[in-house]
Amino acid sequence: DEKYLREIPVELIQRGKYQPRRDMDQQALEELAESIRQQGIMQPIVVRPISESKYEIIAGERRWRASQLAQLDRVPAIVRDVPDEAAVAMALIENIQRENLNAMEEAFALQRLQDEFELTQGEVAEAIGKSRSTVTNLLRLMNLHDDVKLMLEHGDLEMGHGRALLGLPSEDQLAAANQVNSKSMSVRQTEAFVRKLLESPQPKRKASPAKDPNVKQLEEELSEKLGARIEISQGSRGKGRLVISYNSLDELDGILSHIK
């Protein structure tokens, strides 16, 4: 693994496929851009070459995006010539350690690190420099209902809320999460609310059909390839919808660069 520091034009850099941050707050980016205007980039981003002139981000996408907002022509970057597998590990580990991910983003990244490299929770904890109990608690969030995960990811709920909601069956979590959010419940209030729900008799409901595992696998593969959240919904007679979610025009440009 060779590495060297250089200044790279921002237009020659593209977002990484392995970026664990799935939602970037525009106001936070503006604040970072203002800091960069005043002080410059204090910590270089990390990239790898993908052609003779193009580079892909391994770590530091927020700094790259903020540099564009600050209208910088070039950014300092550590260039590392590493293969795909090493880039996955480096991107996940460096972003978990440096990029101030929220709990749900960190859980997604830890799950991916564990799955792609077949690691135990103890090995994941050692790789990122955190305790095993911290890793275990974060990975438990992956058992939440998908829409509740989105609420954590977008900051509508905190990790403590998510941990409390795990006490409910998956089909009850979303309705409870919406109440917690709308009433601005604290974590302790949420824990009491969940206990109350569990003590109440629940009416039987028809289970919703599970998503086809092949469709889920395709969603995951496309999400990894494009670096974006992909949702596929199936209709009748082979029809359906494929939805690509993005949070800014810059992110859309990055997605399109992977498609072209």
Q: Clarify whether 31 is annotated catalytic.
A: no
Contact 15, 57 (CB under 8 A): yes
Residue in 141, 57, 75 with CA at minimum distance from that of residue 103 = 141
Q: Which of 61, 99, 105, 106 is catalytic?
A: 61
**Could you give the residue numbers annotated as active site?**
61
